[in-house]
Amino acid sequence: MTEPYRLSKRMSELGLCSRREADEWIARGWVRVDGKVVSELGTKVLPSQRVSVERQAAAEQSKRVTILINKPVGYVSGQAEDGYKPAVALVNANTRWSDDKAPVQFHPTQLRSLVPAGRLDIDSVGLLVLTQDGRVAKKLIGEDTEIEKEYLVRVQYGKPGRLPDADLRRLNHGLSLDGKKLLPAKVSWQNEDQLRFILREGKKRQIRRMCEMVGLKVLGLKRVRIGRVKLGDLPTGQWRYLREDEQF
């Protein structure tokens, strides 16, 4: 017999919301199991039971925004640390891209619970996603995510000549980090000093560490795409809303 497990976990699995949102909705009485309202946190359910949410939950979720920012060097993705500002500090009415066509008006309440869905380290630039929507965060950084992330990486080889083809193949597949084999990547030369990396995972400083293993020093790193959403012409330090017709 299948063991029961937490309702919030089941709601996340079903793609209804994040676990944190699920607990909030349960506490507000917005969740039903087999048609009955459940308002007790920690309630357990079986996979066979039917979970539904009230209209208020869907209405609140539809107000939640997802923001795309072109992060400059010197900003951290998440919480402020070591005197460096978080990328969310760049989000205000004045820094919104003038070409943003989304029919959404900026309001400071949109900064509440706006968290990064994936990270870019302080020395890296490019596309960073900040979202209030737990479904977006789960899609981009959940354990079983299949979303590709594409980077342009300027490198310098520490030995005479060019990087051997065998080491380029190792970058594509064959390296391990933290005692674990990396998933296959797509790594190719764009020009004589720039590589294109396409990854389906995001370990801490992964590209920099991969490059070190084959004798390459990273001079610059820019994320240009997450899934089907591209950085495009978004200027450095500016942001725009994810449009309704865009899907990662």
Structure tokens at 58: 């869907």
Return d(Cα 19, Cα 6) in angstroms, integer: 10
Structure tokens at 212: 């070190």
Q: Residues 6 or more apart from 160 whose CB is under 8 A from it?
A: none
Return d(Cα 171, Cα 207) in angstroms, integer: 9
Structure tokens at 103: 């029919």
Shortest CA distance to 40 belongs to which of 54, 28, 53?
Answer: 28
165 carries an active-site annotation: no
Angle at CA of residue 27, ends 3 and 63, nearest 5°: 110
Judged on CB neighbours under 10 Å (0-12, 13-18, 19+), 159 is exposed
* Catalytic member of 23, 99, 121, 123: 121
Angle, in degrees to the nearest 10, between helices 134-141 and 19-27: 150
Q: How many Å from the N-terminal Cα to the C-terminal Cα in the chain?
A: 37
CA distances 81 to 84, 85, 113, 121, 205, Å, are 5, 7, 18, 12, 17
Catalytic residues: 121
